[in-house]
Structure 1
Amino acid sequence: MQSGGKRWLGLLLCGICGSFTAAEAVAQSVVEGVAQSVVKSVVKKCPVQIRLPYNSNWLPYIKVTDETITGSDIELIRQVMQDVGSELVLLSMPESRALNDLESGKVDLLFGASYTDARAQFAWFSKPYRHEVDVVIVHPMVLQRYPELTSKTAFFDLARRKLIGTFNPKGFYGAQFEQLKQLEVVQHRSVAIFDAEQRMALVLSQRADFTLVDEASIRLSFDEQPMYQQLQILPFELYRADIHLMLSKKTIDATCVEQINQSLNKIRGRS
């Protein structure tokens, strides 16, 4: 009888032990789940929506029609936004506002950006996703007057002394041109215009001697707009640069930038 009681007690205790073991497993699972949730909440994600301003065609990077907004840079950004779990919100906006609105946090993202220390004060820069070559466009009559313009050194000398240039006031065309355009005599002669077609029109009408353009973009424009074919590209690179996405430090966390970089690496690995 005593022996049977001990066996019964042993079974009871083992049952209790088993119950405690199961309970502990459930409790541990709950704790681990809570911990994972806490970790996920601590790691900041990209915003639910990321706002990108646009204004006009800049082939091949953006093409704007009544029905769609597409282009190589836009499609790349759409893929990145899908990877990081953010909705891309496209905002029609004058180019003159875009950089200031990025600095103030009214928009989150700009594309086609070259790095400068001044911009890095208020914006993150992604890893480069392409490169850009800027070239000088002139009317043939300008080359007739100044045949030495085929030299980069001669271009900078003449641009400093007498040529009338038109360019994007927010554009960066390299440190050498940046120094040139700060000269007071150059500022008095220069025509700063945001709209690329207006700049080209000034050169076509010979009201400006030169403008600065992205080489890939202008070669497409030559194909699509025959009137531009009379203009000439000077035979040197004004500036070559890596091109980045710019993200507002007001609205985008560094962790989100890292996620965007991971997506860019993945996309480049497939191309």
Structure 2
Amino acid sequence: MLLCCCGSSALLAQCPAQIRLPYNSSWLPYIVVTDEGVTGTDIELIRKVLKDLGSELQLLSMPESRALNDLASGKVDLLFGASYTDERAKFAWFSKPYRHEANVVIVHPLVVQRYPEVTTKTAFFDLARRKLIGTFNPKGFYGAEFEQLKLQQPVQQRSVPIFDAEQRMALVLNQRADFTLADQVSVRLRFEEQPMYQQLVVLPFELYRADIHLMLSKKTVDAACVEQINQSLRNQRQP
């Protein structure tokens, strides 16, 4: 292939021919898994980006518990919906942000009756440190303050780490946990689609707001490819 300093032919050569992306279950609206296939807002954005690059998307069904380790080892190439952390940056490139995410706290209404002060962020952290049983994604990042909280031994002993968001919501609904954490947009859609969850209470503050990135394995993707992904993401935002 003839290479030159500019033009699309040079750009296409910088990314792998296939980009392997793991998935497991629906996370509305970002990924929707049905018998007919896998779609969702993040998935369709990724498809558009990879089409720009001349790469093919290969979807791999696997448990979420494996995803970060497989990205670090180069068994998969790409993850989506990722917050930046220094630890992750040791083995992954981060694209420019392509959306924002706000995490909120969901509790059973009896928790609010028992602890009315829990509706403030300061009181929630105090209660979560001393009393409340939380269930959350053990690989998720919910901000530095919550990261410090969940490392405390009494909190670890009370916590119920679960990867599946549906199971976490069910634990709170059935009063086997006091709170869970989730993306604000995803929670709203889940409440609309599954009315049984509407009895739960979303506390009136944001736990953590963050830029959201694509993560790419440093084992299989080079910096030049990441720059082309960033250029495509910028193009997607243009009217």
Normalising by structure 1, we get a TM-score of: 0.85
Change (3 A) 1:107 1:188: same
Query: What is the 5 A alignment of 1:85-100?
Result: 85-100=54-69
Whole-angstrom CA distance in 2 between matches of 1:119 and 1:203: 29
Distance in 2 (alpha carbons) for counterparts of 1:264 and 1:170: 26
What secondary structure does 2:182 align onto? strand
The aligned residue for residue 187 of structure 1 is 156
**Equivalent residue number for residue 137 of structure 1:** 106
- Offset of residue 269 of structure 1: 1.4
Deviation at 1:44, TM superposition (A): 5.3
Tell me if the contact between 1:46 and 1:253 (Cα under 8 Å) persists in the aligned partners. Answer: yes
For 1:153, the equivalent position in structure 2 comes to: 122
* Residues 204-223 of structure 1: pairs in structure 2 closer than 5 A: 204-223=173-192
* Residue matched to 1:15: none
C-alpha displacement at 1:35, in angstroms? 7.5
1:8-27 CA-partner distances (Å, limit 9, x unpaired): xxxxxxxxxxxxxxxxxxxx
**Amino acid of the structure 1 residue aligned with 2:76:** V
8 Å Cα contact 2:103/2:142 also seen in 1 = yes
> Which residue of 174, 182, 187 corresponds with 2:143?
174
Distance 1:43 1:49, change over 3 A: closer
Where does 1:231-246 land on structure 2 (aligned, <5 Å)?
Answer: 231-246=200-215
* 2:19 alignment partner in structure 1: 50
**Relative to structure 1, is the Cα distance of residues 234 and 42 closer, same or farther in structure 2, using a 3 angstrom cutoff?**
closer
Deviation at 1:68, TM superposition (A): 1.5
2:168 is aligned, of 193, 196, 199, to: 199
Deviations along 1:248-271, one digit per CA (max 9) or x if unpaired, are: 00000100000000000000112x
1:44-83 correspondence to structure 2 within 5 Å: 45-83=14-52
Check conservation: 1:57, 1:64, Cα contact below 8 A. yes
**RMSD of aligned Cα (Å):** 1.8
The DSSP-based 3-state class of the residue aligned with 2:238 is helix
Residue identity (%): 77
Q: Relative to structure 1, is the Cα distance of residues 266 and 150 closer, same or farther in structure 2, using a 3 angstrom cutoff?
A: same
Aligned partner letter, 1:152: K
Q: CA deviation at 1:103?
A: 0.3
Q: Which residue of 2 aligns with 1:265?
A: 234
SS for the counterpart of 1:107 is coil
User: What's the secondary structure of 1:117's corresponding residue?
Assistant: coil
Give ranges in structure 2 of 5+ residues lacking alignment. Answer: none
Computing the radius of gyration over CA atoms, which structure comes out larger, 1 or 2? Answer: 1
Pairs aligned (count): 237
Q: Report the alpha carbon displacement of residue 34 of structure 1 after superposing the two structures with TM.
A: 7.1
**Aligned residue identity for 1:188:** Q
Q: Deviations over 1:77-131 (max 9, x none)?
A: 0000000110000000100000100000000000000000000000000000000
- Say if 1:44 and 1:255, in contact at 8 Å, map to a contact too: no
1:64–1:70: 8 Å Cα contact kept in structure 2?
yes
Distance, in Å, in 1 between the alignment partners of 2:203 and 2:114 is 14
Deviation at 1:45, TM superposition (A): 1.0
Higher helix share: 1
Instruction: Tell me the secondary structure at the aligned position of residue 47 of structure 1.
Output: coil
Q: d(CA) in 2 for partners of 1:34 and 1:81?
A: 21
Amino acid at match of 2:32: K
Partner of 1:112: 81
**d(CA) in 2 for partners of 1:35 and 1:71?**
35
The separation in 2 between residues aligned to 1:124 and 1:142, in whole angstroms, is 40
Q: Structure 1 unaligned runs (5+)?
A: 1-32
Name the SS for the 1:134 alignment partner.
strand
Distance 2:2 2:141 in 1: 49
